[in-house]
Amino acid sequence: MNEKLMTTIDERVEDLVALTAELIRFPTINPPGEAYAPCAEYIAARLKKRRFETQFIRAEGAPGDTDRYPRVNVVARFDGRSSGATVHFNSHIDVVEAGDGWSVDPFAGVVRDGKVFGRGACDMKGGLAASIIAAEAFMDVYPDFPGAIEISGTVDEESGGFGGVAYLARKGFFSKPRVDHVIIPEPLNKDRICLGHRGVWWAEIETKGEIAHGSMPFLGDCAVRHMGAVLNAFENELFPALDRKRTKMPVVPEGAKRSTMNINSIHGGQTDDFFPGLPSPNVPDSAKMVIDRRFLLEENLDDVKGEVTKILDRLKRDRPKFDYEIRDLMEVLPLMTERDAPVVTAVAQGIREIFGKEPDYVISPGTYDQKHISRIGHLHDCIAYGPGILDLAHRPDEWVGISDMVESAKVMAIGLEALLLGAAR
Ligand SMILES: [Zn+2]
């Protein structure tokens, strides 16, 4: 390990903490997408001082993009003295709302007891700050390095990434030859490498009925009762079947090493506000259910959908008057970067050198922006690696440990050595 690189990072702890706190002070809450532009401008100003070329890309027409809430992304690039690979650090700058239960101001950037507190501290402004410190230290220690380093601050990850990484990927920002390796500093814990995520299928199921007076339900057909039959079949057949499916993917936590499905919502009936304070007096002719099915590398999407439609089709055959429609809302295929991919071995080397142990390789139960880099950018040398404890994300009193950020920055810097200098050992 290069001692100079490590001591350079150690000497910049104050800078790292100040940078993290400053980033937290931009209340980049999504939705609606507050303070994106000033936060992006702050990141650009910092990197411009280090002679990065910076550009702002507003996702015109993306969901939520308005003049009041512009979806402003920033991409900064520093080209080394000679040609070579490009390593890209991608962080989302948006955070979820603070919610209740905080003992500190969630947007003050409070530093206490070796931690920086605030909404987004761990998810993922601490990771963004660590990647900036890592890149700057690497550039100072190796001023003649070949290749290029990119750092982006992107928006809307918490709402699907459509105005952020997906938009940039469509413009070629996450494809070869512009970029070769991508590290997303999401809070997956400092000694773990996240290789990908399970798949997602969101769908809306609607059962049909026939409207009638509530006092004479026999004259109509109740869509909510039909939905009850769907729920019943799910309880008796689908949930137990999903529970039995296990994956070889190293998904964390343990409970997510199988197929799962959440029922996000059920709505039935004409209206809950027929007359002030009174619900509809009618037999409902429609009921809707939204399901969130998470699936495994071992499953394919057609089979996943088939398990549900098979149940619905059987009800249609066996249950009088049963009819349904199903609409896809979102589909994301499961992803797992190979363990011998260059970015994986480079970061693994950093973890070995800093922590003296083998990294844990994990798969996220939910998706993140890697899906767009893979599907739209067709770039597969991508992982999530960053400081911060995953369980603290989105919670009150969210924090990131200062020493965790320092150690992660060192791992990232060693990763840069391995990827750009070929310093693999
Ligand atoms: Zn995140």
* The two structure tokens encoding residue 304: 């996943």
CA separation for the pair 161, 317 (Å, rounded) = 40
Is the pLDDT confidence value at 268 over 90?
yes
Q: Are 202 and 288 in contact (CB under 8 A)?
A: no
Measured in Å, residue 214 CA sits from the centre of ligand 1 at 47
pLDDT of res. 272: 82
Measured in Å, residue 400 CA sits from the centre of ligand 1 at 13
| pLDDT over 70 percentage in the chain | 99
pLDDT of res. 275: 87
Half-sphere exposure of 145 (CA within 13 A, CB side): 26
Q: Is residue 21 part of a domain?
A: yes
Measured in Å, residue 123 CA sits from the centre of ligand 1 at 5
Measured in Å, residue 81 CA sits from the centre of ligand 1 at 33
CA separation for the pair 399, 126 (Å, rounded) = 9
Is the pLDDT confidence value at 337 over 90?
yes
Measured in Å, residue 96 CA sits from the centre of ligand 1 at 9
Measured in Å, residue 94 CA sits from the centre of ligand 1 at 8
Helix axes 402-420, 3-10, angle to 10 degrees: 150
Q: Are residues 224 and 362 in the same domain?
A: no
| pLDDT over 90 percentage in the chain | 94
Q: Are residues 321 and 358 in the same domain?
A: no
Categorize the per-residue pLDDT at 425 as very low, low, confident or very high, splitting at 50, 70 and 90: very low
Q: What does the pLDDT average to over 180-199?
A: 96
Measured in Å, residue 231 CA sits from the centre of ligand 1 at 33
* The two structure tokens encoding residue 376: 């739209």
Q: Is residue 364 part of a domain?
A: yes
Measured in Å, residue 411 CA sits from the centre of ligand 1 at 19
Which one-letter amino acid corresponds to residue 31?
P
Contacts of 190 (CB under 8 A, 6+ apart): 351, 355, 386, 387, 404, 407, 408, 411
Whose CA is closest to 151, among 42, 253, 61, 237?
42
Number of neighbours of residue 398 by Cβ within 10 angstroms:
29
Q: Are residues 186 and 242 in the same domain?
A: no
Q: Is residue 238 part of a domain?
A: yes
Measured in Å, residue 349 CA sits from the centre of ligand 1 at 24
Q: What is the DSSP letter of 122?
A: I
Q: Is residue 176 part of a domain?
A: yes
Q: Is residue 282 part of a domain?
A: yes
Measured in Å, residue 352 CA sits from the centre of ligand 1 at 25
Domain span holding position 209 = 199-332
Q: Which of 332, 348, 375 is the last residue of a domain?
A: 332
Whose CA is closest to 288, among 341, 227, 369?
227
Sign of the C-alpha dihedral, residues 114, 118, 121, 125? negative
* The two structure tokens encoding residue 409: 């920055």
Measured in Å, residue 398 CA sits from the centre of ligand 1 at 13
Measured in Å, residue 158 CA sits from the centre of ligand 1 at 7
Measured in Å, residue 93 CA sits from the centre of ligand 1 at 9
3 state SS of 296: coil
CA separation for the pair 413, 416 (Å, rounded) = 5
Q: Is residue 328 part of a domain?
A: yes
DSSP string, 332-390: E--EE--TTSHHHHHHHHHHHHHHSSPPEEEEESS--THHHHHHTT----EEE--SS-G
Is the pLDDT confidence value at 313 over 60?
yes
Q: Are residues 228 and 193 in the same domain?
A: no
Q: Are residues 55 and 136 in the same domain?
A: yes
Q: Which of 279, 301, 332 is the last residue of a domain?
A: 332
Q: Are residues 16 and 82 in the same domain?
A: yes
pLDDT of res. 242: 97
Q: Are residues 132 and 191 in the same domain?
A: yes
Measured in Å, residue 419 CA sits from the centre of ligand 1 at 24
Q: Is residue 425 part of a domain?
A: no
Measured in Å, residue 184 CA sits from the centre of ligand 1 at 9
Measured in Å, residue 248 CA sits from the centre of ligand 1 at 24
Q: Are 385 and 345 in contact (CB under 8 A)?
A: no
CA separation for the pair 121, 397 (Å, rounded) = 9
3 state SS of 116: strand
Q: Give kind and range of the element (H or E) at residue 391.
A: none
Sign of the C-alpha dihedral, residues 43, 156, 29, 198? negative
Encode pLDDT of 94-119 as tens digits.
Answer: 999 999 999 999 999 999 999 999 99
Q: Give kind and range of the element (H or E) at residue 162.
A: none
Encode pLDDT of 372-401 as tens digits.
Answer: 999 999 999 999 999 999 889 999 999 999
Number of neighbours of residue 60 by Cβ within 10 angstroms:
10
Q: How far is CA 326 from CA 204, 207, 208, 237, 253, in A?
A: 6, 9, 11, 19, 31
pLDDT of res. 423: 66
Q: Are 292 and 200 in contact (CB under 8 A)?
A: yes
Q: Are residues 311 and 340 in the same domain?
A: no
Measured in Å, residue 377 CA sits from the centre of ligand 1 at 20
User: Beta strand pairing status for 146-154 and 82-92?
Assistant: parallel
Q: Are residues 296 and 344 in the same domain?
A: no
Q: Are residues 206 and 251 in the same domain?
A: yes
Q: Are residues 47 and 91 in the same domain?
A: yes
Q: How far is CA 26 from CA 158, 275, 279, 293, 398, in A?
A: 16, 43, 43, 34, 15
Is the pLDDT confidence value at 63 over 80?
yes
- Report the CATH number at residue 129: 3.40.630.10
Q: What global pTM score does this model have? A: 0.91
Q: Which of 332, 364, 395 is the last residue of a domain?
A: 332
Measured in Å, residue 290 CA sits from the centre of ligand 1 at 24
pLDDT of res. 276: 87
Count of domains forming the chain: 2
Measured in Å, residue 188 CA sits from the centre of ligand 1 at 9
pLDDT of res. 391: 87
3 state SS of 120: coil
Contacts of 50 (CB under 8 A, 6+ apart): 78, 136, 139
- Report the CATH number at residue 246: 3.30.70.360
Q: Are residues 193 and 207 in the same domain?
A: no
Measured in Å, residue 331 CA sits from the centre of ligand 1 at 19
Is the pLDDT confidence value at 171 over 90?
yes
Q: What does the pLDDT average to over 7-33?
A: 98
Number of neighbours of residue 421 by Cβ within 10 angstroms:
16
Q: Are 73 and 57 in contact (CB under 8 A)?
A: yes
Measured in Å, residue 221 CA sits from the centre of ligand 1 at 45
Whose CA is closest to 123, among 18, 44, 12, 24?
24
Q: Is residue 286 part of a domain?
A: yes
